[in-house]
């Protein structure tokens, strides 16, 4: 069942966070759906600009429609991650997406407001919801690059939401894109979340760059020929604390890539005679499903599937 993020966020607010997982291919798609259904969790499928151009945007869109058919128990939103204005408009017109993210955070504040407002108006006219971003996360995610953190200012966040009409807001609180998130004693700025929640009670907030970069995955990758030195991530035990402060969506991409890398490096190390791409894929899909199910426990979304479905169906009847 494809739903909007707004519906998911209403059910989750203050209690748990929805996992938002980036996918790029068939194997990730199968593992993602199997992991969420097995852990009984609602979720968000994220398609980035890079994923849409990796093969062809219509290939991914067709997989989403097919997954909705073959996983009838799944409750999920289809979301554009880090879209520019042109990509947002294309996704709005596609009829596939239930949510888009307009990321104009690299622009001046006034320009960010202007662009976001145009996307919101176009999306809302089609029943699609919009995530926007204020502040910038350090690091690299595909073509999103920032050299330093630009923390979200709570008062500015309040003005931005009121001016644009966006449905959720990605905040910069110290997380980073990529596999190299922290050096030293940096901590997540929960004080920023607290202040934004005070100013915007009940409004859904989003944490980007929230992969935990499990050190066992990094160690296994390196033991199989990788060279990930100094990789580190977000403390996943802090997810639920963030959820109590209004974070309803937590983005996880890098960790899934690490699982893919580990499976393939170990498989071909242990089976040098193999060359069939399906052989490591058969290992990856259940491994990725297990990874997703474990993340959902940390997010608090595991076990919420039946409740959120009933909530959404009741809301539609009201």
Active site residues: 81
- Residues sharing a CB contact under 8 Å with residue 273, sequence separation 6 or more, in sequence order: none
CATH 3.40.1640.10 for domain 5-317, yes or no, is no
Tell me: the pLDDT tens digits for 195-235? 999 999 999 999 987 777 888 999 999 999 999 887 667 78
Q: DSSP state, 181?
A: -
Tell me: the pLDDT tens digits for 59-99? 999 999 999 999 999 999 999 999 999 999 999 999 999 99
Q: Which strand (E) or helix (H) includes residue 290?
A: helix 278-299
Note the pLDDT of residue 317: 81
Note the pLDDT of residue 174: 75
Note the pLDDT of residue 177: 52
Note the pLDDT of residue 113: 98
Note the pLDDT of residue 214: 84
Note the pLDDT of residue 176: 60
Task: Identify the segments of the chain with pLDDT beneath 70.
Answer: 137-149, 175-187, 231-232, 318
Q: Where are the beta strands (DSSP E) in 111-230?
A: 129-134, 138-141, 144-146, 168-171, 176-177, 205-207
Note the pLDDT of residue 179: 47
Classify 184 as helix, strand or coil: coil
Note the pLDDT of residue 133: 95
- Domain residue limits, the chain: 5-317
């Amino acid at each position: 069942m494809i739903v909007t993020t707004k519906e998911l966020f209403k059910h989750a607010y203050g209690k748990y966070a929805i996992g938002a997982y980036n996918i790029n291919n068939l194997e990730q798609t199968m593992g993602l759906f199997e992991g969420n259904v097995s852990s009984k969790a609602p979720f968000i499928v994220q398609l980035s600009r890079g994923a849409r151009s990796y093969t062809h945007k219509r290939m991914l869109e067709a997989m989403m429609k097919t997954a909705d058919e073959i996983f009838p128990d799944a409750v999920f939103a289809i979301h554009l991650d880090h879209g520019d204005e042109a990509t947002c408009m294309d996704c709005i017109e596609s009829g596939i997406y239930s949510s888009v993210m307009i990321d104009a955070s690299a622009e001046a504040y006034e320009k960010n407001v202007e662009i976001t407002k145009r996307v919101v108006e176009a999306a809302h006219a089609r029943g699609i919801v919009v995530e926007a971003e204020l502040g910038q996360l350090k690091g690299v995610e595909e073509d999103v690059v920032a050299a330093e953190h630009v923390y979200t200012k709570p008062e500015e966040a309040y003005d931005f939401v009121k001016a644009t009409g966006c449905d959720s807001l990605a905040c910069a609180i110290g997380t980073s894109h990529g596999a190299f998130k922290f050096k030293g004693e940096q901590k997540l700025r929960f004080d920023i979340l607290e202040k934004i929640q005070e100013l915007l009670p009940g409004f859904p907030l989003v944490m980007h760059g929230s992969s935990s970069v499990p050190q066992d995955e990094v160690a296994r990758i390196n033991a199989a020929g990788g060279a990930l030195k100094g990789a580190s991530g977000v403390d996943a035990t802090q997810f639920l604390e963030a959820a109590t402060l209004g974070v309803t969506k937590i983005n996880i991409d890098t960790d899934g890539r690490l699982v893919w890398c580990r499976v393939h490096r170990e498989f071909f190390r242990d089976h040098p005679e193999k060359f069939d791409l399906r052989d490591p894929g058969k290992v990856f899909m259940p491994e990725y499903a297990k990874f997703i199910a474990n993340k959902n426990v940390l997010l608090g979304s595991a076990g919420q599937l039946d409740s959120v479905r009933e909530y959404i169906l009741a809301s539609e009847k009201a």
